Amino acid sequence: MDTIVAIATAPGRGGVGVVRLSGDKSSEIAEAICGKLQQARFAQFSHFKDHDGEIIDSGIAIFFPNPASFTGEDVVELQGHGSPLVLDRLCQRAISLGARMARPGEFSERAFLNNKMDLAQAEAVADLIDSSTEQAARSAMRSLQGV
């Protein structure tokens, strides 16, 4: 499958923002942005750079190799400052290196297709994300846990 990228945190400004990559070229793309990923599941401080080597932001890079990731594919999270501009620049940099923007729900879709979750769990993730009441969130969480 191709490599996808998306902002994983809520829209707007925040202290921390997460850009997530999933697919065969995730680690290759991430290494072009932040340098060598030292080891799997290790929070590594990195400078996130554009194509000219200019620092876009500094933050944490974490590599989750397949199949032990949310999607069942190689996944990389770039955790930087939560500026929408910075997060967009990181996504655009990943796209320039061969990723494409993920469709809404595509990370969960890949998790389902790679047998990381069943259809009920995938729907529960969507319900949890969309919940607007405490009762709805609890119900979605129970569904996600198979209760």
Find all residues with CB under 8 Å of 132, minimum gap 6, and list them: none
Provide, rounded to the nearest whole percent, the portion of the chain with pLDDT above 90.
Answer: 87
Lowest-pLDDT range of 5-9, 76-80, 133-137? 133-137
The residue ranges of every structural domain in the chain are 4-101, 117-144
Give the largest CA-CA distance in the chain: 51
Q: Rounded to two decimals, what is the model's pTM?
A: 0.91
Q: Which helix (H) or strand (E) holds 64?
A: strand 55-64
The answer regarding whether domain 4-101 maps to CATH 3.40.190.80 reads no
Structure tokens at 76: 């990389």
Q: What is the pLDDT of residues 100-134, one digit of tens each?
A: 999 999 999 999 999 999 988 888 988 999 999 99
Report the relative pairing of strands 14-22 and 55-64 from DSSP bridges: unpaired
The answer to whether the CB of 20 falls within 8 A of the CB of 41 is no
Buried b (16+ CB within 10 A) or exposed e, 115-137: ebbeeebbbbbebbeeeeeeeee
Report the C-alpha gap between 94 and 72 in whole angstroms.
Answer: 20
